[in-house]
């Protein structure tokens, strides 16, 4: 794949990552790869994995690593850019280890949008985007999976000094100011 520059975005569902991803793409020229969007597109394509992906998403479970990695690799190869913002993956330690093993890539750094479960739930229920996973039952399952599976990945990257923690409860503009500090030439960090 050549030299790629990318970073991961970690946060619970509803913490505002979609808004911040759009800002990062616009200001820094990264190609945004959303694992969730790639999985939903694959589900809707009628592929052989579509039904399995649909069932996993509906249950708030994590799709097998090999499926998501193949979708990410395909998306990377379909663009001329060498800077990627990957959100929603890896979701657990197995995802992380598999991705790094298959691609040989580690993130430059990891943005962690810190937001309370109550605030994320409020945001998810109010966004009304017609997504089947924006209902209270699935949201609770997604939070449980996030707490059990994704937080250990954040801890792993934090132990390597790669995590930049951002308070995602602040207004959108303030959150993006904190994001911009992470991209500053000095490699500005936000206390983790």
Confidence of residue 4 (pLDDT cuts 50, 70, 90): very low
Report CA-CA distances (Å) from 31 to 35, 44, 117: 13, 22, 28
Confidence of residue 3 (pLDDT cuts 50, 70, 90): very low
C-alpha to C-alpha distance for 62 and 91, rounded to whole angstroms:
7
Q: Binding site annotation covers 185?
A: no
Total domain count for the chain? Answer: 1
Q: Binding site annotation covers 63?
A: yes
Q: Looking at residue 150, which CATH number applies to its domain? A: 3.40.50.300
Q: Which string of DSSP letters, residue by residue, matches 31-63?
A: EEEEHHHHHHHHHHTT-TTHHHHHHHHHTTPPP
Angle between helices 93-103 and 65-77 (to 10 degrees): 40
Q: Binding site annotation covers 131?
A: yes
C-alpha to C-alpha distance for 166 and 176, rounded to whole angstroms:
9
- Residue 191 lies inside a defined structural domain of this protein: no
Q: Binding site annotation covers 187?
A: no
- Residue 188 lies inside a defined structural domain of this protein: no
| Burial class, 190, CB count within 10 angstroms (exposed 0-12 / middle 13-18 / buried 19+) | middle
- Residue 116 lies inside a defined structural domain of this protein: yes
State the residue range of the domain holding 74: 5-183
Mean pLDDT of 18-43: 90
Confidence of residue 41 (pLDDT cuts 50, 70, 90): very high
The whole model's pTM is what?
Answer: 0.74
- How confident is the model at residue 94, as a pLDDT? 93
Q: Binding site annotation covers 18?
A: yes
| Burial class, 3, CB count within 10 angstroms (exposed 0-12 / middle 13-18 / buried 19+) | exposed
C-alpha to C-alpha distance for 107 and 84, rounded to whole angstroms:
9
Confidence of residue 1 (pLDDT cuts 50, 70, 90): very low
- Residue 189 lies inside a defined structural domain of this protein: no
Q: Binding site annotation covers 2?
A: no
């Amino acid at each position: 794949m050549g030299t790629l520059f990318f970073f991961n975005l970690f946060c619970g569902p509803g913490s505002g990552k979609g808004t911040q991803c759009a800002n990062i793409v616009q200001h820094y020229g990264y190609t945004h790869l959303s694992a969730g969007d790639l999985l939903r597109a694959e589900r809707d394509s009628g592929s052989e994995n579509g039904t399995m992906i649909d069932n996993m998403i509906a249950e708030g479970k994590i799709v097998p690593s090999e499926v998501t990695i193949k979708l990410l690799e395909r998306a990377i190869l379909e663009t001329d850019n060498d800077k990627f913002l990957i959100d929603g993956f890896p979701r657990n330690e197995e995802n992380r280890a598999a991705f790094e093993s298959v691609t040989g890539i580690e993130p430059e750094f990891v943005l962690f949008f810190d937001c309370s479960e109550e605030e994320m739930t409020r945001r998810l229920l109010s966004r009304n985007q017609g997504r089947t996973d924006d209902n209270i039952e699935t949201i609770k399952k997604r939070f449980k999976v996030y707490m059990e599976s994704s937080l250990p990945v954040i801890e792993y990257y934090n132990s390597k000094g790669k995590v930049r923690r951002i308070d995602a409860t602040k207004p959108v503009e303030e959150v993006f100011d904190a994001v911009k500090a992470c991209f500053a030439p000095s490699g500005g960090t936000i206390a983790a």
